[in-house]
Amino acid sequence: MFALCIIAFLCLLPVNYSAPAACENLVRPLDHLDFHHLKGRWALVAGAMRDNSYLEKFKTRDSASVSFGNTSENSTVSFQRVIGFSGSCQYTQSNITLKASGFSFNDINMAVTILNMSCPDCLLMSFKNESNDVLRLYLFSRRRAVDQKEMEEFRAQAECLNMLEPSAVDPTKELCPEKISDTADTDTAAQTEVKTEGQNA
Ligand SMILES: *[C@@H]1O[C@H](CO)[C@@H](O)[C@H](O)[C@H]1NC(C)=O
Ligand SMILES: *[C@@H]1O[C@H](CO)[C@@H](O)[C@H](O)[C@H]1NC(C)=O
Ligand SMILES: *[C@@H]1O[C@H](CO)[C@@H](O)[C@H](O)[C@H]1NC(C)=O
Ligand SMILES: *[C@@H]1O[C@H](CO)[C@@H](O)[C@H](O)[C@H]1NC(C)=O
Ligand SMILES: *[C@@H]1O[C@H](CO)[C@@H](O)[C@H](O)[C@H]1NC(C)=O
């Protein structure tokens, strides 16, 4: 009887302890972020949110991309977000400061951690609030869509971080054109709107 209990206990061990260990490996931040890897444009492939209200908002997007570029100042990188929905394009231009495992925005109090992933042309960004809870997880890639195995990995990562079921972006919808300048009057309203949205994170 005693032996049976020990066997049962040992058999249960892997089941009880595998989940946290697997999660620890799945949601590891990049240990050193390389600007040359970041540079250029990334298309949004999928997102996972903590809150349903934000998930609903996320689903209204047709497409999105981010671009990292140089600025005249050494430690500052320009960061452009482009969101397409209902036939229009919203542009938000920010300056960011690169950190070891992510970056922070120079104008708003928000930090992004880049998580490691097996997919080499992917960029997994996690947005945390002040209490260090991950509220949003965005999967970007140089491709418009990732394969099933990579999507499974993202799904598992989202689950580890207690996110809702991920939502994929339709890869057949065209990306908005990239735009270098952020001075056009028509973009001012959109810029403010997206910034407000970011601050709610
Ligand atoms: C961008 O920055 C990289 C690294 O700092 C540098 O090698 C490259 O020449 C810069 N490009 C432009 C267009 O300034
Ligand atoms: C940028 O880097 C160069 C060379 O590393 C340095 O001489 C220059 O002072 C830096 N400029 C700023 C604005 O930090
Ligand atoms: C980003 O920084 C550059 C200087 O490095 C500045 O000219 C530009 O206006 C800044 N852009 C934003 C959106 O803050
Ligand atoms: C990142 O993931 C790859 C592939 O899954 C792995 O080989 C590498 O060791 C990981 N790096 C870190 C810092 O966890
Ligand atoms: C951060 O998000 C978590 C999960 O939604 C929430 O419980 C916590 O109160 C938030 N913290 C702040 C400072 O907003």
Nearest CA to ligand 2 atom 7: 74
3-state secondary structure of 30: coil
Ligand nearest to the CA of 52: 5
Q: What is the pLDDT along the chain (201 residues), one digit of tens a residue?
A: 555 544 444 444 444 445 667 899 999 999 988 889 999 999 999 999 999 999 999 999 999 999 999 876 667 899 999 999 988 999 999 999 999 899 999 988 888 999 999 999 999 999 998 888 899 999 999 999 999 999 999 999 999 999 999 999 999 999 999 875 544 444 443 443 443 343 333
Nearest CA to ligand 5 atom 3: 133
**65 CA to middle of ligand 5, Å?**
27
**Which tokens sit at 83?**
């969101």
Long-range contacts of residues 23-28, Cβ cutoff 8 Å, at least 24 apart: 23/160, 26/153, 26/156, 26/157, 26/160, 27/115, 27/126, 27/157, 27/160, 27/161, 28/115, 28/116
Best CA proximity match to 54, nearest among 133, 139, 135: 135
Nearest CA to ligand 3 atom 2: 95
Which pTM was predicted?
0.78
How far is 141 from 162, CA to CA, in rounded Å? 22
**70 CA to middle of ligand 1, Å?**
6
With a 6 Å cutoff on the Cβ, whether 74 touches ligand 2 is: yes
Q: Are 50 and 135 in contact (CB under 8 A)?
A: yes
